[in-house]
Amino acid sequence: MMNRAIVLLAAAMATSVHADAIGQLKSFLGNTQTVSSTFSQVVQGKKKTNTSTGTFELQRPGKFRWEYLKPYQQLIVSDGKKVWVYDADLEQVTERKLDQALGDTPAALLSGSNELEKGFSLKNLSDKDGLSWVEALPKQKEGTFEKIELGLQDNLLKRMILKDQFGQTTTLDFANIVKNPKIELKRFSFTPPAGTDIIKDKE
């Protein structure tokens, strides 16, 4: 009887911890209108690994600024209607409608009005690395990502692990997170510098 009671207690505690993971994710998405943070990114492919760092700003719904600073500079900006991907070295910018770009970047995944819950099936995972984890599986199979894992702590998103259809794993670690800061709207607009090649998706 004692052993059975211990097993039942352990199971109940595990269920409580797991429920808390999805609860933290829902709290983060539901109670966060703006976010600013720094990030580090590691993309691990079959043959090589790339690392980069930058800054991230978000205003839900639809607005974000994802800026890579090292080792190369790239800017991804959305004003809620369009997304621009600007490469200063190439003097080139790609312009897309937000609904076409949604899901192609981690920023886009987090910027919608609960699109994460609408587009993904959520499942609790075991805690690891001091974080509570949620697995998000896309409901539609034609998207970029096969699976996303989100690590949370104190109702804040700390890490994302994204596995895409090309066999790559992207790990994002967020730091210096500020929840609901005041962000100027101009941070989410983009005007291509003179001489920039502009590439637009077909309508």
How much is the pLDDT for 62?
86
CB of 196 closer than 8 Å to CB of 93: yes
pLDDT recorded at residue 111: 75
The pLDDT, as a whole number, for residue 16 is 38
- What confidence tens digit (pLDDT) does each residue in 153-178 have? 988 999 999 998 888 999 999 999 99
Predicted local confidence at residue 203, as pLDDT: 57
In the chain, which residues have pLDDT < 50?
A: 1-19
Q: What pLDDT is attached to residue 124?
A: 93
What's the pTM value of the predicted model, to 2 decimals?
Answer: 0.81
CATH of 2-200, one of 1.20.1440.230, 2.50.20.10, 3.30.1490.20, 3.40.50.11390: 2.50.20.10
CB atoms within 10 A of CB 180: 12
Q: Which residue has the tokens 């609901």?
A: 180
- pLDDT of res. 127: 93
CA dihedral 58, 185, 33, 85 (to 10 degrees): -20
- Of all residues in the chain, the percent with pLDDT exceeding 70 is 81
Cis peptide before 106 (omega within 30 of 0): no
pLDDT value of residue 43? 94
Of 28, 40, 37, whose CA–CA distance to 171 is shortest? 40
pLDDT of residue 102: 61
Beta bridge partners of 36: 57, 178
The torsion defined by the Cα of 115, 163, 23 and 10, in degrees rounded to 10, comes to 150
Burial-class residue 125 by CB neighbours within 10 Å (0-12, 13-18, 19+).
Answer: middle
The pLDDT of residue 138? 80
